[in-house]
Structure 1
């Protein structure tokens, strides 16, 4: 549902008197994860990194719609048939996802997984789908048809053929959970980077804040913003690698789950938030909502900021974000 930018560069000191940064890169949840921790030696670092790996793998087993044994797959198999009792953790994640759907007027919707894949972004499309095909593609999508029973911890998809998926929120949630676990284990500083869904805490061994450099996708050779990030998350969603163009209009691979049509007008959205889960969901939502509606919604939310780059390369930011261009 979305392409994650690789234009983040983590700037940190490699050595400090007592502590150093240790980093491991591996594939989890079908994506690249970079796990960085500050520790006194490699033994301590590897132990903590393994804690994070195990936690991310646990989350994947819980939420994966590709794993036939997951509770998410069980929910999807029983669409239109029976409610499914799930772990409280999964129930709460779905409940929060529905809250974001309401907040964004349906621009974010985990039932997007029900959508027919009629848009192709591999260069094979020669014409736009018909209006009838587009309407049919989203006929089973609709977060209001996800029925939650808090007392019994059950999830029911009201219509047959409905599916839920966590592609636009799962990696952010996993990054949050890994961060929380490492903090509880006494890790004072680190970064969980889930293919661009970055979650940080603490500071560099030098005492400086972690920083992210953000580039304009139209001109990747130049950094336009250098931003400190302390105990928070930053997520970028971009369409500059996956899109189609018809009648001089550029259509993103990010599809509006309400209409079945791709988002247009934006090529990159970066969201700063306390949690990667929320930043992940909002980055996708702004693409769908558009610049004006997206900014209006972000400006009403506490502790949330965003940077938007439109198809002309213009940079638009939310009210309170400060950009260091030096």
Structure 2
């Protein structure tokens, strides 16, 4: 991530669609090997560069589906956004409770719970107080400052903990005053999966969806996998990841740093409040973008053995430099 003048973080991208079209909001890509139109859209979703590539025999239908996918993404952003004051998530963080929450928020928190369990608590969306603590400290002391005072960090950690969140279909609430959620480590994957499901239900067989994380519906219409370029994260990691009915996500400590060296960054360990190592970068390929997004976040803070076990249980492929020992 980088921090623009507004103070709102934006995501630095470590993945890109190989030879993706750019320019107009809707445009045909190069000639496909099968009949039909490959329509590409490029824009912004959940604070990140986003794109869609949809193949359909009827170009008008493809364009209609692109517009529907963009509208669905905007609807979900109004629920999950940490930066929109009118979002459901912002209401929860501001008041500590949401009555009759959107079903999609409940579903996403259920997915969070599964990831919390899979990673033994390392994935934890309640780390937002740690972000606020670091943001306040470095905004007043400057980017060359040392860590936040121990007392401030202890206070923030006291408001972190997945077990302090109460989730029901009729009500979501914090059990501890001053808690806050961030869904930035999973929401983009979740939204990507929702768009993929919508396109699949519409009968599409070929699409590549990037709403901050990337997922493939089928393969490329030319009869090969979709190609996703990977900023190499480890010796031996590929330059391009082929995707067919799979998803890929990357998390990197270098995405956003509070200090000049990146030692204090956005990837917080909920157990200690310490950030991931500044050179840490993890890419995960999984069955869903939700899983890939969450695991790439958590794996940035986990040791090799724990990563291997969680990857085995989730049938994920991980590209990461080795990290020996504990977190």
TM-score, length-scaled by structure 1:
0.81
User: Which of structures 1 and 2 has the larger relative contact order (alpha carbons within 8 angstroms, sep 6+)?
Assistant: 1
- Give the conservation status (yes or no) of the 8 Å contact 1:252–1:263: yes
Contact 1:48 1:187 in 2 (8 A): no
Q: CA deviation at 1:65?
A: 3.5
Q: What is the aligned counterpart of 1:202 among 218, 232, 250?
A: 218
Aligned to 1:18: 35
Structure 2: how far apart are the matches of 1:42 and 1:235? 29
User: 5+ unaligned residues in a row in structure 2: which ranges?
Assistant: 2-9, 21-28
1:229 offset after TM fit, Å? 1.4
Deviation at 1:72, TM superposition (A): 2.3
Corresponding residue to 2:252 among 218, 225, 238: 238
Q: Deviations over 1:33-82 (max 9, x none)?
A: 11111123542322111011011011111222433443323322332xx5
Task: Kindly tell me the number of residue pairs found equivalent between the two proteins.
Answer: 303
Q: Which moved more, 1:270-279 or 1:42-51?
A: 42-51
Q: Which has the higher helix share?
A: 2
Q: How many Å separate the matches in 2 of 1:310 and 1:78? A: 42
Higher strand share: 1
TM-score (norm 2): 0.81
2:87 corresponds in structure 1 to: 70
Range moving further from structure 2, 222-231 or 262-271: 222-231
Cα distance in 2 for residues equivalent to 1:110 and 1:297? 18
Matched, 1:44 2:61: yes
Distance in 1, matches of 2:297 and 2:107, equals: 20
- Give the gaps of 5 or more residues in structure 1: 315-326
Instruction: Give the alignment partner of residue 229 of structure 1, picking from 224, 237, 243.
Output: 243
Q: Residues 11 and 26 of structure 1: is their aligned pair in 2 closer, same or farther, counting only changes over 3 Å?
A: closer
Q: Which structure 1 residue ranges, 4+ long, deviate > 4 Å from structure 2?
A: 1-4, 119-123, 243-246, 248-252
Aligned-residue CA RMSD in angstroms? 3.2
Instruction: Indicate conservation of the 8 Å contact 2:52/2:209, yes or no.
Output: yes
User: Does 2:190 align with 1:182?
Assistant: no
Superposed, 1:1-326 pairs within 5 Å as: 3-10=11-18, 14-15=30-31, 16-40=33-57, 42-79=59-96, 84-115=99-130, 116-118=132-134, 120=138, 124-150=143-169, 153-195=170-212, 197-216=213-232, 224-243=238-257, 250=263, 252-264=265-277, 267-299=280-312, 301-309=313-321
Q: Distance in 2 between matches of 1:100 and 1:17?
A: 39
